Amino acid sequence: MTEPSLTIPPDEVADLQKKFSEIKHSINNALAVMMALSEMSQRRPDYAEKLATTVLAKAPQIVTSLQEFTQVLNEKASPKPEA
């Protein structure tokens, strides 16, 4: 019995790398905003509500982006039956 092939074409690897880079950038941006709001809310408690609102909006977006990337990666990396 032959093992299934796990080869991912170079153009698809490049696409995955680009998507991963975009996700990292988005996560870094979201975390930077959350950190800034956290610091501001320590000095000015009226920022706490804005921080909570931002976290509640951004956290699910981050999770969704990671789940979508994982799904695409799993589809590309799953064994393909040999013809």
Is 58 a member of any domain? yes
Query: 7 in helix, strand or coil?
Result: coil
Count of the separate structural domains present in the chain: 1
pLDDT at 76: 86
pTM: 0.74
Is 2 a member of any domain? no
Amino acid at position 83, single letter: A
Is 72 a member of any domain? yes
Exposure of 48 by Cβ count < 10 A (0-12 exposed, 13-18 middle, 19+ buried)? middle
Is 27 a member of any domain? yes
pLDDT at 58: 93
Is 83 a member of any domain? no
Is 55 a member of any domain? yes
Task: Report pLDDT digits (tens) over 5-57.
Answer: 678 889 999 999 999 999 999 999 999 999 999 999 999 999 899 999 999 99
The helix (H) or strand (E) run that includes residue 64 is helix 48-77
Is 1 a member of any domain? no
Domain that holds residue 30: 10-77
